[in-house]
Structure 1
């Protein structure tokens, strides 16, 4: 689900919390050693996201936030912030030898260059977090 998260809209917050859970508390963030990724450069994306990114001439970049039941990929276009909300049961991740990750959810995808140690460490944390928090049964969703 691709949403405009620029404004404090309670309905959008409810949709996000329903999909990926509430944000972690400060103590849990500290225990997890952070829940946000470093700045990641977008190489390619699906047509929905690409149409938003071409509206301005800035560098295409994003960051990823961990949530209890999924992730949020945030990026900016013009003066708006957009979020791609991906629950763990819909998350697909591919990695190439060149440090390029492709993250999929249904018809959306974002291809990211993760060539630093910090970004690779974050993706390892994300995969571990996904393995720990993905529901085993369909009834758990």
Structure 2
């Protein structure tokens, strides 16, 4: 689900809590070493996520927030901020020439540059949380 979170959105808060759980507590955030990635440069998005944008002229940035039962990908289009809620059971991660997150037929591809390298530990932790939540023993990453 994609929500416009430029301004306070009550429906987003209710849906995000229901789908991916409440935010981690301060103590949990400290133990995990943070729950958010630094910004990543968006290379390409699926048409449904490219809300209101006609061409991809300027750099767009996104970041990923961890939740107990999923992730929320926050990204901007022009001056608006959108949040894409993805439960772990729908989250698919591809790591090839670009790093991409897929769910429900939609995707966001991020460039593999210095921002990606800085977020590598965070991405590994995200995959581990997904495996722990889904009780998977093996995940080829």
Q: 1:53 offset after TM fit, Å?
A: 4.4
Q: 1:40 to 1:132 in 2, by over 3 A?
A: same
Q: Which residue of 2 aligns with 1:22?
A: 22
Structure 2 Cα separation of the partners of residues 33 and 24 of structure 1? 12
Q: Which runs of 5+ in 1 are unaligned?
A: 137-141
Structure 2 Cα separation of the partners of residues 9 and 35 of structure 1? 21
Structure 2 Cα separation of the partners of residues 37 and 52 of structure 1? 25
Q: RMSD of aligned C-alpha atoms?
A: 1.9
Q: 1:18 offset after TM fit, Å?
A: 0.6
Q: Which runs of 5+ in 2 are unaligned?
A: 137-141
Give 3-state SS (helix, strand or coil) of 1:47's partner: coil
Going by fraction, where is helix more abundant, 1 or 2? 1
Q: 1:20 to 1:56 in 2, by over 3 A?
A: same
Contact 2:41 2:110 in 1 (8 A): yes
Structure 2 Cα separation of the partners of residues 106 and 5 of structure 1? 20
Q: 1:78 offset after TM fit, Å?
A: 2.8
Q: Which residue of 1 aligns with 2:139?
A: none
Q: Which residue of 2 aligns with 1:106?
A: 104
Question: TM-score of the superposition, structure 1-length normalised?
Answer: 0.85
Q: 1:34 offset after TM fit, Å?
A: 0.4
Question: TM-score of the superposition, structure 2-length normalised?
Answer: 0.85
